[in-house]
Amino acid sequence: MLESDRGLVLMDQHAAHERILYEQMLRRLEQGDAPSQRLLLPETVELSPRDAQFLREHLPVLGRLGVGLGEFGERTFLLDALPPFVKVSDARRFVLELIDELVAAGREVNSFRLGEQTVAKTVCRHAVKANDPLAGPELENLLNDLRNCAMPYTCPHGRPTLIEMNYRELEKKFGRTQ
* Whole-angstrom distance, CA of residue 138 vs CA of residue 129: 14
Does residue 146 touch Zn ion according to CB under 5 A? no
Reduced to 3 states (helix: H, G, I; strand: E, B; else coil), residue 108 is helix
Print the binding letters for residues 4-33 with Zn ion: x by CB under 5 A, - otherwise.
--------------x---------------
Does residue 129 touch Zn ion according to CB under 5 A? no
Reduced to 3 states (helix: H, G, I; strand: E, B; else coil), residue 155 is coil
Cα distances (Å, whole numbers) of residue 152 to 116, 159, 160, 166: 20, 11, 9, 18
Which residues are within 8 A (CB) of 89 and not within 5 positions of it... i.e. 6 or more apart?
Answer: none
Nearer to Zn ion, 99 or 155 (CB): 155
Which residues are within 8 A (CB) of 92 and not within 5 positions of it... i.e. 6 or more apart?
Answer: 43, 45, 79
Q: Which of 6, 56, 107, 157 binds Zn ion (CB under 5 A)?
A: 157
Nearer to Zn ion, 61 or 124 (CB): 124
Nearer to Zn ion, 18 or 80 (CB): 18
Bridge partner residues of 164 (DSSP): 9
- Of the candidate spans 27-35, 53-61, 96-104, 155-163, the one that interacts with Zn ion by CB under 5 A turns out to be 155-163
Nearer to Zn ion, 36 or 122 (CB): 122
- Of the candidate spans 59-67, 97-105, 130-138, 150-158, the one that interacts with Zn ion by CB under 5 A turns out to be 150-158
Does residue 155 touch Zn ion according to CB under 5 A? yes
Residues touching Zn ion, count (CB under 5 A):
3
Q: Are 81 and 68 in contact (CB under 8 A)?
A: yes
| Phi/psi of residue 128, nearest 5 degrees | -105, 140
Which 83-122 positions form the footprint of Zn ion (CB under 5 A)? none
For Zn ion, the binding residues (CB under 5 A) are 18, 155, 157
